[in-house]
Structure 1
């Protein structure tokens, strides 16, 4: 019999846990039921050799459930019936997943692939709070608090799906009540010096569309996906009633259905955006207002951030603090500048889409007040005088 060349992963003796070294030096770890337990419906289960502690706990859980089944206290058939991979695949084909937004689906798939790579062969019923807590701590140390909590939340969705399918007992979600650290929310906002440096860099690089995207992000606070999908006809001049008078004023508005919440919005545009918008509408490509000048194609998410990194790198040469400014900070920057200019929280929320949706088609007729609130938030953004800008 070949002698092992290294110590087995699990040092402690655990009932039902088996270990065997393969020819390549790696170890196979699994749980093996007794003959009586097999007769009661239990089946062998592969365990994770890379996590000996979790493997030992899972083996103990399997033995306990198998013994209960053998004594007629519970059925053992579901113990190894559905793997994590099977649950994930079923969730991906479920109506719940189908109804999600495309951007959310893409994000979920990334997290689900990471979970499947780690736990795919494991039975969904084996997980308990100690196993998930140990995994969370490992993720925290290796990938940081944001990634750790994101994967735990995604796994929680998989467990809820398994409960609804009857593959786990109701109320047994091991991610629930987990003591996880809530990372401090990012609070970075851009200064006028940084924003102007980015706008100038986009001009120097010949990225006319990205400059317009920057202006729209700064003065409307809309998400990158909504900017990429904006069509020329989404922007039109309208006569906006001036509340309390019989007069009107001509403004450009952006009508959109927001990609994340699916709610409609009608946003009056700041005067600084209009000149760049007029030019963009004249040279638009098909149904995309913003497109890449170098390739002549609409922006993908990857290309968008490649161009943003180029703009940021050039801007950082004249304004070094730009180096850590992220695109998502521009949405927060809009809210900061608008509030600083005197807009109320509710007015800013109307622009950002954090309040109830309005019917864009009827906005001018029935929702003039709503348009006025968004106009107040957009119009509140003003550039500081030169002396104040130097201080900033």
Structure 2
């Protein structure tokens, strides 16, 4: 094709039988056919030359541009799926609020204002500030901004939860929960795992060795591969669930074999439809049990003559969450005398992190102090220690 004198376009001409000439316009870079009209072809070529960012109307150097660049980066792709989903939610909000603002225009006063505005939700505020620091850090590396104004910025304090489930709360929950949620409670408590990992546990991960049942799992957040011994209180519940699964498989065997590629769900804790729980649906079902517990407690308190304000305060004080069960299990293990490495091997925590949990909760536990005193009392030995003997002998020599 002979080249066109117009930059970026190649043109080919063909003479028809009637003597007229038709022109074929092509994009010089890609060779793509752009039609027979020069003006339309030039317009189409300009659209082809636009970057995806320009085509979407995103101004270079804006927060929108920084977010798009980060989402396409290796740094973002290397994050775990759950972390990517979390970050996307925050980045979408940032895009809605400040997407068109040039990164150069953001000052430390702006960051302070963002921090102050989100102070009612400190966890959200800290996450937004961290992502803004990442975006501006990448902008600084490419010369878009001279300074990362979100760097070394004070984060809001987030008070750690200190609540653990009492045995009375446990009994109240199990009394009101359906069988699937009863098993969920027991799995969360006795395996020390996160709800997402608990909901992914299936019959295929259960094994028995030397009379002990084990649950094999890979934690979604950390990637740690664990083989958790099953507590003797939990084992009968799992055994009953396995019997149910085996019975269900036998009853639907003909249906399953008729559907190529389909098989029965073998989850230990399935949704009411037998499929994996959606996180929000599991949370809703769990919270319904918590609500029934709170109503029963409120009735008892009102019957005892408590005021509305006192009842509300008591219910808030006794409210427990699913995530508190992991902490509860760790504390109960430590109370039973398990070492920090033993606890960490079950929960999948780092040993240092696990020790911080123990240091936070055990010193305030009366049960631990009482157990320590009883051990001391049982091992009273009325003998002079070697140190005292040496000190006494030195005194005599002097």
TM-score after normalising by structure 2: 0.61
Aligned match of 1:91:
70
- Note the C-alpha offset of 1:228: 1.4
Question: Is 1:257 paired with 2:215?
Answer: no
Question: Is 1:305 paired with 2:283?
Answer: yes
Deviations along 1:365-390, one digit per CA (max 9) or x if unpaired, are xxxxxxxxxxxxxxxxxxx9xxxxxx
Measured in 1, the distance between the counterparts of 2:97 and 2:214 equals 48
- Note the C-alpha offset of 1:144: 2.9
Aligned match of 2:25:
none
CA contact (8 A) 1:132 1:174 kept: yes
Question: Is 1:296 paired with 2:274?
Answer: yes
Which of these two proteins has the greater Rg computed from alpha carbons? 2
Cα 1:167–1:280 shift into 2, 3 Å: farther
Alignment length (residue pairs): 260
- Note the C-alpha offset of 1:263: 1.1
Q: Which of 192, 195, 216 does residue 170 from structure 2 map onto?
A: 195
Cα 1:122–1:102 shift into 2, 3 Å: same
SS of 1:110's equivalent in the other structure is: helix
- Note the C-alpha offset of 1:346: 2.5
CA contact (8 A) 2:126 2:155 kept: yes
- Note the C-alpha offset of 1:168: 3.3
- Note the C-alpha offset of 1:318: 4.2
Q: Which of 95, 110, 117 does residue 138 from structure 1 map onto?
A: 117
Measured in 2, the distance between the counterparts of 1:184 and 1:160 equals 28
CA contact (8 A) 2:214 2:228 kept: yes
TM-score after normalising by structure 1: 0.62
Aligned match of 2:152:
177
- Note the C-alpha offset of 1:252: 0.7
CA contact (8 A) 1:197 1:319 kept: no
Measured in 1, the distance between the counterparts of 2:223 and 2:155 equals 30
- Note the C-alpha offset of 1:227: 0.9
Q: CA RMSD in A?
A: 2.3
SS of 1:236's equivalent in the other structure is: strand
Higher mean C-alpha displacement, 343-352 vs 193-202: 343-352
Q: Which of 77, 94, 97 does residue 118 from structure 1 map onto?
A: 97
- Note the C-alpha offset of 1:174: 1.8
- Of the two structures, which has the highest relative contact order with CA contacts closer than 8 Å and spacing of 6 or more? 1
CA contact (8 A) 1:209 1:280 kept: no
Aligned match of 2:200:
229
Measured in 2, the distance between the counterparts of 1:123 and 1:233 equals 53
Measured in 1, the distance between the counterparts of 2:137 and 2:282 equals 35
Measured in 1, the distance between the counterparts of 2:209 and 2:174 equals 27
Aligned match of 1:82:
61
CA contact (8 A) 1:85 1:116 kept: yes
Measured in 2, the distance between the counterparts of 1:104 and 1:287 equals 27
Deviations along 1:86-125, one digit per CA (max 9) or x if unpaired, are 2112212222222211211121112112211211111123
SS of 1:283's equivalent in the other structure is: helix
Question: Is 1:220 paired with 2:191?
Answer: yes
CA contact (8 A) 1:85 1:121 kept: yes
CA contact (8 A) 2:61 2:103 kept: yes
Measured in 1, the distance between the counterparts of 2:233 and 2:329 equals 14
Question: Is 1:352 paired with 2:329?
Answer: no
